[in-house]
């Protein structure tokens, strides 16, 4: 009996995610469909790939060995595909990109959609998540990251833009509570801070060319920066946000920059992709477009 090749990616996902249920969620399959795919492989290979209980599935030694061989085979297939694709003058095939949720939706996705509209042979699969995906294990062609690109082995990086972050508040709040003139004045103001189930994010401010860490003490802590911007517009206090997010609110007068003569804090925006001997045309075109157009969508003032 020949090995059912279409079941191999399902098996690999089950190993990487630690179980059939999580693999099903990632692949948009039912848990039972994942189990049947693994069972077909086991029947073909005549070995047990997973030890199963009612709640858990643990990969066996044979399963781990088979997975490692599958990994190498998939790497060879990706390399062969990239070698063929790198000789093309136009992008084609599926481009899988992971990006931060809000930044991706507002700044990255419009550029990639424009590329797709210009090249009918290009497919887009966009993943919006604020976690740093593993490009190799999760099978992504490209990831966009704010701040640090990461230092994992087997990746390449290119800076494609900068993100400017500043302090903003509603004019009504400032009329009521006063306009801070120095960094020391911030401590006497209400703040709206970012927190995701842990410590409140500190604000990295530019103090006459030197980095200054301000730790806001606030009764308003959200894990969504768009919700923070809305709260700032409603006058709940000062907040530290990227300019690309609040530009329209600033243009409309709903928000103003606090301490206007203070320079914005700049962080890098990176394109990250798996290292390899050949860069697929679809990935190269996407990276070049982001480097060209992202600075226009993410102004620093």
Task: Check residue 162 and give its pLDDT.
Answer: 93
CB-facing half-sphere around the CA of 120: CA atoms within 13 A: 0
Length of the chain: 301
Q: How many Å apart are CA 218 and CA 221, to the nearest integer?
A: 7
User: In the chain, which stretches have pLDDT less than 50?
Assistant: none
Let me know: does 96 contact 283? Beta carbons within 8 Å: no
Quick: pLDDT tens for 153-162: 678 999 999 9
Predicted confidence at residue 73, as pLDDT, reads 87
Closest to 153 measured CA to CA, from 137, 130, 166 = 137
Distance separating alpha carbons of residues 231 and 222, to the nearest angstrom? 10
Q: Are 49 and 63 in contact (CB under 8 A)?
A: yes
Is pTM, for the whole model, over 0.75? no
pLDDT computed for residue 220 by the predictor: 92
Q: What does the pLDDT read at residue 82?
A: 66
User: What span, in angstroms and rounded, lies between the C-alpha atoms of 170 and 295?
Assistant: 26
Contact 190, 296 (CB under 8 A): no
pLDDT at 192: 96
Please tell me the number of Cα atoms within 13 Å of 96 on its side-chain side: 11
What pLDDT is stored for residue 138 in this prediction? 82
Structural domains of the chain, ranges and CATH numbers in brackets: 5-84 (1.10.10.10), 90-301 (3.40.190.290)
Q: What pLDDT does 86 receive?
A: 55
Give whole-number Cα distances, 260 to 32, 54, 180, in Å: 59, 61, 10
For residue 169, report the phi and psi dihedrals to the nearest 5 degrees. -160, 165
């Amino acid at each position: 009996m020949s090995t059912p090749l279409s079941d191999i990616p399902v098996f690999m996902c089950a190993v990487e995610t630690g179980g059939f249920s999580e693999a099903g969620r990632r692949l948009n399959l039912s848990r039972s469909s994942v189990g049947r795919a693994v069972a077909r492989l086991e029947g073909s290979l005549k070995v047990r790939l997973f030890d199963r209980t009612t709640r858990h599935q643990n990969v066996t030694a044979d399963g781990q060995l088979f997975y490692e061989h599958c990994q190498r085979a998939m790497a060879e297939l990706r390399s062969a595909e990239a070698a063929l694709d790198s000789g093309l003058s136009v992008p084609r095939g599926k481009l899988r990109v992971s990006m931060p949720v809000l930044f991706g939706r507002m700044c990255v996705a419009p550029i990639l959609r424009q590329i797709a509209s210009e090249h009918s042979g290009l497919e887009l699969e966009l993943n919006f998540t604020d976690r740093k995906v593993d490009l190799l294990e999760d099978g992504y062609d490209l990831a966009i990251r704010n701040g640090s690109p990461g230092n994992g082995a087997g990746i390449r990086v290119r800076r494609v833009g900068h993100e400017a972050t500043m302090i903003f508040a509603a004019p009504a709040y400032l009329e009521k509570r006063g306009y801070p003139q120095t960094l020391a004045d911030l401590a006497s103001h209400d703040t709206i801070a970012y927190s995701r189930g842990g410590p409140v994010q500190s604000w990295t401010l530019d103090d006459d060319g030197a980095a200054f860490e301000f730790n806001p003490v606030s009764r308003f802590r959200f894990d969504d920066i768009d919700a923070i911007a809305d709260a700032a517009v409603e006058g709940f206090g000062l907040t530290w946000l990227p300019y690309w997010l609040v530009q329209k609110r600033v243009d409309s007068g709903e928000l103003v920059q606090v301490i206007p003569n203070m320079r914005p804090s700049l962080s890098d925006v990176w394109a990250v992709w798996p290292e390899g001997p050949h860069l697929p045309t679809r990935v190269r075109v996407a990276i070049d477009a982001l480097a060209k157009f992202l600075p226009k969508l993410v102004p620093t003032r």
